[in-house]
Amino acid sequence: MSPLRIEDLGCRPYAEVLELQRELRRRRIEGELDEDVLLLVEHPPVITLGRGTRTSSLPISPAELRRHGVEVFEVERGGDVTFHGPGQLVGYPILDLRGHRQDLHWYLRSLEDVLIGALGHFRIEADRNPGLTGVWTAGRKIASIGIHVKQWVTLHGFALNVTTDLDRFDLIVPCGIRQVVMTSVAAELLRADSEGLMAEVRERVAGSFCDVFGYSVIAGSGTA
């Protein structure tokens, strides 16, 4: 089993973690970093625009969003617009796919498998939606995925709604999908203990990630 360093970053600004991702990927590409890394984090409210973002997916202008305390970033990942905020577990894998499979379709499906497996521990029946990337339960979207790969090293990743304020998704057309209904782990389980639930989900996601990709874990410092 290959090693994986998991870093739990707590809640950090999006821009800070974006630069951290890019630096870790640079080090992984150049051979300065020997192991793959999974960053787990929550963000203050932020909207990110992927390379596939359509004008219709962002009905409120970026300037207006910023006036309401929501940052907006254009990023290199695939996909359309998405929202990150408190109560959402975001995972950024910095993986060298040459140690796995040089196949982006396989990688996307594997990320979905990670989340489907983790949700199964909570008896949430999650699955794919044919033709769409992400994870769904009973027709509702619970997790989004968007990636970028350079020299077979990955960037960006997944966002799983745990105790997220789902009303925030009204600011956008999530992933450009009209009339999509967003949900969360808390909403599906009817649980309100946000801190305890997030800790449980984080542990299950980390374990499922190692199972799917075949890793042994190196405990991170949380200060990457």
Q: What is the pTM of this model?
A: 0.93
Q: Is residue 40 part of a domain?
A: yes
pLDDT, position 69:
87
Select from 152, 153, 161, 154 the least CA-distant residue to 134.
161
Number of domains in the chain: 1
Helix (H) or strand (E) holding 215: strand 215-219
Select from 164, 157, 156 the least CA-distant residue to 198.
164
Buried b (16+ CB within 10 A) or exposed e, 57-90: bbeeeeeebeeeebbbeebebbbbbbbbbbbbbb
pLDDT, position 176:
78
CATH code assigned at 47: 3.30.930.10
Per DSSP, the three-state class of 92 is strand
Query: Which residues are 219's β-sheet partners?
Result: 6
pLDDT, position 221:
58
Q: Is residue 70 part of a domain?
A: yes
Q: Is residue 104 part of a domain?
A: yes
Q: Is residue 224 part of a domain?
A: no
Supply the range of the domain harboring residue 27.
Answer: 2-219
Q: Is residue 150 part of a domain?
A: yes
Catalytic residue among 38, 89, 149, 175: 175
11 is catalytic: no
Write the burial class of residue 155 (CB in 10 Å: 0-12 exposed, 13-18 middle, 19+ buried): buried
Query: Tens place of pLDDT for every residue, the chain, 224 residues?
Result: 788 999 999 999 999 999 999 999 999 999 999 999 999 999 999 999 998 888 888 888 888 888 888 999 999 998 889 999 999 999 999 999 999 999 999 999 999 999 999 999 999 999 999 989 999 999 999 999 999 999 999 999 999 999 999 998 988 888 777 788 999 999 999 987 777 999 999 999 999 999 999 998 776 655 56
Q: Is residue 57 part of a domain?
A: yes
